[in-house]
Amino acid sequence: MESAGEALRQLIASWAGDFGYLADHRFSFRFPEVVAARTPTYNPDCVWFENKIEEPSTAAIFEIDEETSRKHCVGGASLANVIALKYRKRLRYFAIVSRERDVARTAIEILRTHLGEKWALEATVIPSFEPGVVRQSIEAVIPRRK
């Protein structure tokens, strides 16, 4: 049976066109510049792209977590921030958590506060897996294209 997070991941991908974007809910950012036995990757839950499904075209990154720790939240937001810095652009970042907990918000605030001008994300925490709430929260920060 499909988890609530997996279902939401596919739903968010299906909404991308309504906002003028392309989506991939299996996209991996690669870091070939880091020497390792296997190329390191960052695998967010969904990525929206401006005009092509490729790293430089990234517009928004979504992390969806049913149960999460501060360490996991910081890791996801940090790697998303690295992508924004790598391409010298501000990105939308959505941390979607299954319930109202301060872990995601405070993890983002810690990074925003201490990274200063190196913080390159427009971050939004959505404390619900309810599709209507998630969609409304996205629409509040990304205008829907007609």
Nearest 5°: the CA angle 81, 86, 92 is: 40
pLDDT surpassing 80 at residue 52: yes
pLDDT digits (tens, 9 = 90+) for 63-87: 998 877 778 888 999 999 999 999 9
Domain boundaries defined on the chain: 4-141
Structure tokens at 57: 């075209």
What band does 102 get if pLDDT is binned at 50, 70 and 90?
A: confident
Average pLDDT of the segment spanning 40-65: 96
Average pLDDT of the segment spanning 30-47: 95
Strands (E), the chain: 22-24, 29-30, 41-42, 46-49, 58-65, 91-97, 121-126
Measured CA to CA in angstroms, residue 20 lies from 5, 16, 64, 144 at distances of 23, 6, 21, 8
CA–CA separation, 107 and 81 (whole Å): 13
Say how many CA atoms lie within 13 Å of 31 toward its Cβ.
13
4-141 adopts what CATH topology? Restriction Endonuclease (3.40.91)
What band does 101 get if pLDDT is binned at 50, 70 and 90?
A: low
pLDDT surpassing 90 at residue 100: no
- Residue 146 has a pLDDT of 57
- Residue 2 has a pLDDT of 73
